[in-house]
Amino acid sequence: MDFKSYRNEINSGNSSVKELVIDFIDKVNNLNPKINAFTTITKEKALQQAEFIDKQITDNSKLPLLSGLPISIKDNLCTKGIITSCSSNMLRNFVAPYESTVTKNLWREGAICLGKTNLDEFAMGSSTETSAFGVTSNPWDLNRVPGGSSGGSAASVAAGLCLASIGSDTGGSIRQPASFCGVVGLKPTYGRVSRWGLIAFASSLDQIGPITNTVSDSAEILSVISGNDPFDSTSLDFPVPDYISSLNNSIKGLKIGIIKECLEHPGLDDEVKTSIEKSINRFQSLGAEIIDISCPRFNDGIATYYVIAPSEASANLARYDGVKYGYRSLGTDNLSDMTSQSRSEGFGDEVQRRILIGTYALSAGYSDAYYKKAQRVRTLIKNDFDKAFENVDILLSPTCPTTAFLKGDYSNDPLSMYLSDLLTVPVNLAGLPAITIPCGFDKKGLPIGLQLIGDVLQEEKILNAAHIFEQDANLIISRPKIKF
Ligand code: GLN
């Protein structure tokens, strides 16, 4: 259900917001044991918020934008008084003492918190399989992964357990799961949205963004969570445009660049390729001008990202030492053993692997060869994009090389798993905004995602093009028929 249909329900007066929210909570309670999208259900908070909105309705008060809309939050955003676990044993019992700026803004605008959603541990992964709380199932096929790391968020929206979710995207973690689950995922420009209260993974890449049923819902959430925040020195101090009013602008003459390196990549699944080609034709028939573009360094993104992200992660995760933060192992008799035992027991394999890679890449003697070199390649990737945007308005690519894979397919092969981020990581390295929208299905009935990439702070353009495409393709009405 999109925001519009839900608002019609509220406006019909047949049920109170509280009753509608109770229906959602019942649905979560029934379906979550199968899907494992939620790690915490915040029934009490949801009902309190719903009662408040109902009172505002009775009082005829002016309602804020997201009034009464039930949403979920990835469990790496701090929510005051509620467990914020990062799906890690390290933070299994961590109750956040403060509220992230993004969630604070959402509650201020009337959104309702249904709960926290599952993720790959500390947002490291592409399948939600590295979560300490078990894998999430893809609502389109419960034997498949929902993608990651915001897999719980994407699955919660696709399964109809909430109207929208908030995820984080360091190398694709909003877009890849949204694509696997057939929903809309937006990663804003680096700095567009405050990260105060987001548990850091790789600070030069992390961004928070919405996962929704429609592009218009995405624009609404973006308008609430964007903007400068004195608590986050990396947040940009530029006015927030009206993302909603520009959605229906005509895209006649819009120049869309097709990144050659993406469509010609040997790892790209044939059915994904065909669906993207059809989508390019659709854009053309909607009046857009299609231009072939080359970003020669695009495919170096993975190697670059998997040096930079683990390096930053190794520094960010140093704070979990059993003293300042996190799980403490008992039974050791000196500080050094206690720290190392706590980290060995608290972190899972993938997180430990990243810390080791990152520590190695940053160590004296190797940092020039790995970390600094990766930073240089990062600049080259950004230069390719800058050049492309001299000739086009937005860029188009598939979001992922394949559709959702089976659980366990890559659990013992981390390098192959890393390749599923092929088409998303260059965008983070360059700090650009990008959106994924459903554009078709493969023969197994699994959704395929299309990625639109904008220049810095050009969210309006990608939202506009995505919205016009979505209206024309009329794909959003398809939802998984969950069999239980
Ligand atoms: N899959 C990527 C990784 O494992 C991206 C993760 C993310 O965006 N948080 O690093």
Q: Is residue 99 within 8 Å of 79, Cβ to Cβ?
A: yes
Enzyme catalytic residues: 74, 149, 173
Structure pTM? 0.97
Model pLDDT for residues 234-250, shown as the tens digit of each residue: 999 999 999 999 999 99
Dmax over Cα atoms in the chain, in whole Å? 71
pLDDT in the model for residue 417: 85
Q: Is residue 224 within 8 Å of 193, Cβ to Cβ?
A: no
Rama region for 253: left / alpha / beta (φ>0; ψ in -120 to 50; rest): left
Mean pLDDT across the chain: 96
Instruction: Give distance in angstroms: CA of 199 to centre of ligand 1.
Output: 14
In this prediction, residues 266-292 reach a mean pLDDT of: 96
d(CA 472, CA 353): 44
User: Across 100-174, where does the E strand assignment appear?
Assistant: 112-117, 164-169
- 40-188-124 Cα angle (round to 5): 50
Domain presence at residue 385: no
**DSSP strand pairing (289-293 vs 255-259):** parallel
d(CA 383, CA 303): 17
Element holding 131 (H helix, E strand): none
- Ligand 1 atom with the shortest distance to the CA of 306: 10
Model pLDDT for residues 201-233, shown as the tens digit of each residue: 999 999 999 999 999 999 999 999 999 999 999
Model pLDDT for residues 53-96, shown as the tens digit of each residue: 999 999 999 999 999 999 999 999 999 999 999 999 999 999 99
- Ligand 1 atom with the shortest distance to the CA of 124: 4
Decide if pLDDT at 119 tops 90. Answer: yes
Domain CATH code at residue 51? 3.90.1300.10
| DSSP string of 247-290, one letter each residue | TT---TT-EEEEEHHHHT-TTS-HHHHHHHHHHHHHHHHTTPEE
Domain presence at residue 407: no
d(CA 117, CA 151): 8
Domain presence at residue 308: no
b/e per residue 49-83 (b: at least 16 CB within 10 A): bbebbbebbeeeeeeebbbbbbbbbbbbbbbbebb
Strand partners, 73: 116, 166
Q: Is residue 70 within 8 Å of 24, Cβ to Cβ?
A: yes
Instruction: Give distance in angstroms: CA of 172 to centre of ligand 1.
Output: 6
Q: How far apart are the first and last CA of the chain?
A: 20
Instruction: Give distance in angstroms: CA of 123 to centre of ligand 1.
Output: 6
**DSSP strand pairing (289-293 vs 70-74):** unpaired
- The preferred substitution site among 74, 117, 126, 428 for testing ligand 1, maximizing ligand atoms within 8 Å of CB, is 126
Looking at residue 367, its amino acid is: S
pLDDT in the model for residue 418: 84
- Ligand 1 atom with the shortest distance to the CA of 205: 8
pLDDT in the model for residue 411: 81
Q: How many domains does the chain fold into?
A: 1
Domain presence at residue 315: no
* Residues contacting ligand 1 via CB (< 6 Å): 123-126, 149, 169-173, 201, 309, 421
Domain presence at residue 148: yes
Domain presence at residue 223: yes
Burial class (CB in 10 A: 0-12, 13-18, 19+), 391: exposed
Domain presence at residue 310: no
Residue 48 domain boundaries: 3-252+425-478
Model pLDDT for residues 178-187, shown as the tens digit of each residue: 999 999 999 9
d(CA 403, CA 448): 6
Decide if pLDDT at 479 tops 50. Answer: yes
The tokens of 82 are what?
A: 């509620």
Instruction: Report the nearest-CA residue for atom 4 of ligand 1.
Output: 125
| DSSP string of 300-346, one letter each residue | GHHHHHHHHHHHHHHHHGGG-SSSSSS----S-SSHHHHHHHHHHHH
Instruction: Report the nearest-CA residue for atom 5 of ligand 1.
Output: 171
d(CA 327, CA 432): 36
Model pLDDT for residues 439-471, shown as the tens digit of each residue: 999 999 999 999 999 999 999 999 999 999 999
Instruction: Give distance in angstroms: CA of 432 to centre of ligand 1.
Output: 16
Instruction: Give distance in angstroms: CA of 424 to centre of ligand 1.
Output: 9
Considering only 167-171, 200-204, 364-368, which range has the smallest mean pLDDT? Answer: 364-368
d(CA 327, CA 332): 14
- The preferred substitution site among 421, 422, 427, 428 for testing ligand 1, maximizing ligand atoms within 8 Å of CB, is 421
d(CA 274, CA 373): 36
Angle of the 349-362 helix axis to the 301-316 helix axis, nearest 10: 100
pLDDT in the model for residue 474: 81
In this prediction, residues 406-427 reach a mean pLDDT of: 90
- Ligand 1 atom with the shortest distance to the CA of 169: 8
d(CA 50, CA 67): 9
Label residue 484 by pLDDT band (50, 70, 90): very low
pLDDT in the model for residue 307: 97
d(CA 5, CA 428): 33
- 94-95-97 Cα angle (round to 5): 125
Looking at residue 343, its amino acid is: R
Residue of 12, 98, 16 lying closest to 57 (CA atoms): 16
Label residue 21 by pLDDT band (50, 70, 90): very high
Decide if pLDDT at 477 tops 70. Answer: no
Element holding 446 (H helix, E strand): none
Angle of the 270-285 helix axis to the 459-473 helix axis, nearest 10: 100
Label residue 147 by pLDDT band (50, 70, 90): very high
Instruction: Give distance in angstroms: CA of 68 to centre of ligand 1.
Output: 31
Looking at residue 72, its amino acid is: S
Looking at residue 163, its amino acid is: L
Domain presence at residue 297: no
Label residue 413 by pLDDT band (50, 70, 90): confident
